[in-house]
Amino acid sequence: MRKYEIMYIVKANLDDASRQALVDSLHSIFTKDGGVVTKVDEWGIKEYAYPINDETKGYYVVIKVEAKAETIAEFNRLARIDTNVIRFLIVNEEE
């Protein structure tokens, strides 16, 4: 398994319960396939430098995970499908 750092932004207008459910579902992608979420850093609601899809704020989350490449591909697929995920970035920490 490789180490990755992932930052993603979810919609700021979600209520706390919906946002937590979304964050938990995204993190469960890694844990159900044998991966480990080693660190979760929730930055909270921040203002964008420029509007994205007519929105000016988002809820930022940064996580560190150890996972297989297939699991990262599945996260990539599901994050692209979910309309509540505005943007995400996956960085391989081993390179």
Q: Tell me the pLDDT tens digit for each residue of 54-90.
A: 899 999 999 999 999 999 999 999 999 999 999 999 9
Phi/psi for 15 (5° steps) reads -75, 165
pLDDT at 34 > cutoff 90: no
Q: Say if residue 69 is exposed, middle or buried (CB neighbours under 10 Å; 0-12, 13-18, 19+).
A: exposed
pLDDT at 32 > cutoff 70: yes
The CATH superfamily label for domain 2-92 reads: Ribosomal protein S6/Translation elongation factor EF1B (3.30.70.60)
57: closest CA among 8, 22, 20, 11? Answer: 11
Q: 67 and 35 in contact (C-beta within 8 Å)? A: yes
Could you give the count of Cα atoms lying within 13 Å of 85 in the half-sphere of its Cβ?
Answer: 20
